[in-house]
Structure 1
């Protein structure tokens, strides 16, 4: 018997958030490449399924976290009577740990002790290698290592329907160099000031770029968009609340650059090969920035560590957030304009 026989079935549990779900896709591709006959089941959030739920060769089970205990029971009912060779428990939150208790599996792979919390160690029987300094995507990719694989290639290829491409082409026609601005993170303290976004957007417009403001339909995102628009001297396209996740992927694929704080769209843009001008002060871009290329990001994380925590970032536990009021003010308009200019020159569009 081989030490690591090919599993017949694997269950992946990572329900949220959008950025982290994009990080699971390369792991999924690694499993499919190595074991094309292995049955793969992914328990994913209701919103997140709209982004990845059409990946071929995968069974999806939706977890509606807004439904509370009923949402958990629905997942357990969908999997009743089944037992997986392995469960990859890639989310350490208490809700996900409880959710995993209703999933039968011989091998239950979770995080190493340093990254465990909320009783995670009680719901697993194996752990990924203990490493520090990893990007989130690499940490998720290491979940295949206890099974005998190694993620050596990072590939997304998230399907984008033809109608999404057509819609994006209507909004952003032609080959005009385009800056998309997604100004709102789900973590409010990661957000930059509206007037600063507006200043950068005005600058890009003077350089002949098309500028479009994007975001979801929530009240908070609408309020941020309105604040940005009120401060703009050169009105951008306002596409806030008009897209879907698939349409957003298609739009990102037509743009040369995305300006955003640490957020889901950052990782979606990276997944389709679009440059990202990420704004990082509250979070460490080496851990949670755009995976493929962080050259265009503004990184004030170390400065934030000194100012708010009295020590360099190198002395903080890996993954520490510095979500303090005012932390994003460490990023100036000039900082962002400089990175925009550098990215534009690299693209050959200045």
Structure 2
């Protein structure tokens, strides 16, 4: 029997986003045993996931006390961790999947594995994962899909659903009855909190939204989250249900199942609500981006500021907070009405997209999770690159950089073009940006070619290193110059950062014992980047070609009409 360990030591929402991975493992390996390693603080959510056979928890507060507490002892801390990971390692897992977005997960996964290197440890997807954790705005996939790819699984359209126990459902019924609810009332829930300030929509906006709803609609407002949010209750009078700080995770899920619309920041409860089938209106500000961490549900809207600086890499340094101000209460109010009365609206019913963009979820031509604008917006080079890069990563990380033939690329671009045409408006400047991208990719490819040639020379001279040490030193300096030239493109054309960051992350992962081995690994890094640049260039040129065909066809139809 195959035994798998999934290491997710991040927060509540990250664990919920692992459900498609867990579902996929059980579907591909029906008789497998799946264990998850999680932070003890967030372990309760795992009881709602029937795909998990055993939950292993690590007590970080205890480790912290052993390291820096009043009775700190390095020896005790080391002893605790050594015993913990020795017992974990003794379970002899077939595979260990690290999906923790920081190096603590890498550390844990290494200590949990058998000594024998498994193919997952050297996975190209793990290198990509490490790269994007340094700059989340370079991620081309939804996190749940990235987890699936790390495990070597295919994307699935299967809906994510938590399984809530009968006791928690009964508790929710009794809790709501205590507020006089009989079961047919419309409940709009608010979650004003979040783990960091930059993720929190202004409280004043929640108050304005709630008051407008109470004035115009026959609804009840329910407040969820920590007790810090309870002060909002007095703004809503006796039509407010205060559940802040009063629920377990299972009870929270049960209340969310009874909720008609959930208005929330990008938080763990947002993902729980999506997995309960609740209609979710999520607000993403600062560095939060619906394309990577939005709710995985077809029942909802996601809202983001229409700003060129979003998503922000360093929101804690921003004093303007424009992204918060741009998402106004009136917009969220309109979206709530749409969710309650969908037959009265259609996507063609215009919403103002000047300050914020509203998205709804769907799938891309490869089956990956995606978000599309509710009303047509101009297609930008970033919108296009986001989807083209998914194809590049999928076909170079999965298949060891085997070149895709033109027929496959044409078929993908054709499907992508049809999808984008349905949701986006044409942008005349896109052609210029595509030409600039083509020139940049040509230059990157040329630099990669130079790097490959330098590595070949190093490999040739390495066996006689003492004799050719000056020559090898000169070649190493040439290699450094090439890398510096590649690095400049991160600022010259930011949309290329995902490719370049992954190149450098992969290069830093080199483990060769001598000059020759290091040169061989560096050659492979240049070769991979060269392949990816070529594939991305082919995709962009094919998109331009098909777009021009459509323009010509439309012009001829107009001329002969």
TM-score range normalised by the length of the shorter chain: 0.7 to 0.9
2:104 is aligned with 1:95: yes
Q: 1:39 aligns to what?
A: 33
Deviation per residue, 1:151-187 (Å, 9 max, x gap)? 3243434221211101111223412111111110112
Question: What is the rounded CA distance, in whole Å, between the counterparts of 1:209 and 1:33 in structure 2?
Answer: 41
Question: What is the rounded CA distance, in whole Å, between the counterparts of 1:17 and 1:150 in structure 2?
Answer: 25
- After the TM superposition, which residues 47-86 of structure 1 pair with which residues of structure 2 at under 5 Å, given as runs? 47-53=41-47, 55-56=49-50, 58-68=53-63, 70=77, 72-73=81-82, 75-86=84-95
Question: What is the rounded CA distance, in whole Å, between the counterparts of 1:256 and 1:51 in structure 2?
Answer: 22
Distance of aligned partners of 1:244 and 1:136 in 2 relative to their CA distance in 1, 3 Å threshold:
same
- After the TM superposition, which residues 184-223 of structure 1 pair with which residues of structure 2 at under 5 Å, given as runs? 184-206=193-215, 207-216=217-226, 222-223=227-228
Length-normalised TM-score, structure 1? 0.80
Higher relative contact order (CA 8 A, sep 6+): 1
- Displacement of 1:112 after TM fit? 4.2
Question: What is the rounded CA distance, in whole Å, between the counterparts of 1:40 and 1:344 in structure 2?
Answer: 39
Deviation per residue, 1:245-267 (Å, 9 max, x gap)? 00011111111111111101111
Question: What is the rounded CA distance, in whole Å, between the counterparts of 1:151 and 1:74 in structure 2?
Answer: 37
2:331 is aligned with 1:335: yes
Query: Paired residue for 1:20, among 14, 31, 36?
Result: 14
2:270 is aligned with 1:266: yes
Greater mean alpha carbon deviation, residues 206-215 or residues 55-64: 55-64
Question: What is the rounded CA distance, in whole Å, between the counterparts of 2:126 and 2:326 in structure 1?
Answer: 34
Question: What is the rounded CA distance, in whole Å, between the counterparts of 1:52 and 1:40 in structure 2?
Answer: 12
Task: Give secondary structure in 2 for the equivalent of 1:61.
Answer: strand
2:340 is aligned with 1:344: yes
2:277 is aligned with 1:281: no
Q: 1:123 aligns to what?
A: none
Distance of aligned partners of 1:55 and 1:72 in 2 relative to their CA distance in 1, 3 Å threshold:
farther
Q: What is the Cα-based RMSD across aligned positions, in Å?
A: 2.8
Task: Give secondary structure in 1 for the equivalent of 2:84.
Answer: helix
Q: 2:130 aligns to what?
A: 116
Q: Is the 8 A contact 2:223 2:229 kept in 1?
A: no
Query: Paired residue for 1:229, among 229, 233, 236?
Result: 233
Distance of aligned partners of 1:273 and 1:54 in 2 relative to their CA distance in 1, 3 Å threshold:
closer
Aligned length: 312
- Displacement of 1:322 after TM fit? 4.2
Task: Give secondary structure in 2 for the equivalent of 1:84.
Answer: coil
Question: What is the rounded CA distance, in whole Å, between the counterparts of 2:239 and 2:162 in structure 1?
Answer: 32
Q: 2:553 aligns to what?
A: none
Query: Paired residue for 2:150, among 105, 129, 143?
Result: 143
- Displacement of 1:117 after TM fit? 5.4
Distance of aligned partners of 1:276 and 1:55 in 2 relative to their CA distance in 1, 3 Å threshold:
closer
- Displacement of 1:18 after TM fit? 0.9
Q: Is the 8 A contact 2:169 2:251 kept in 1?
A: yes
Structure of higher CA gyration radius: 2
Question: What is the rounded CA distance, in whole Å, between the counterparts of 2:207 and 2:168 in structure 1?
Answer: 28
Question: What is the rounded CA distance, in whole Å, between the counterparts of 1:223 and 1:252 in structure 2?
Answer: 19
Q: Is the 8 A contact 1:19 1:265 kept in 2?
A: yes
Distance of aligned partners of 1:343 and 1:119 in 2 relative to their CA distance in 1, 3 Å threshold:
closer
2:303 is aligned with 1:298: yes
2:168 is aligned with 1:164: yes
Question: What is the rounded CA distance, in whole Å, between the counterparts of 1:15 and 1:83 in structure 2?
Answer: 20
Length-normalised TM-score, structure 2? 0.51
Question: What is the rounded CA distance, in whole Å, between the counterparts of 1:264 and 1:274 in structure 2?
Answer: 14
- Displacement of 1:35 after TM fit? 0.8
Question: What is the rounded CA distance, in whole Å, between the counterparts of 1:224 and 1:191 in structure 2?
Answer: 12
Q: Is the 8 A contact 1:259 1:277 kept in 2?
A: yes
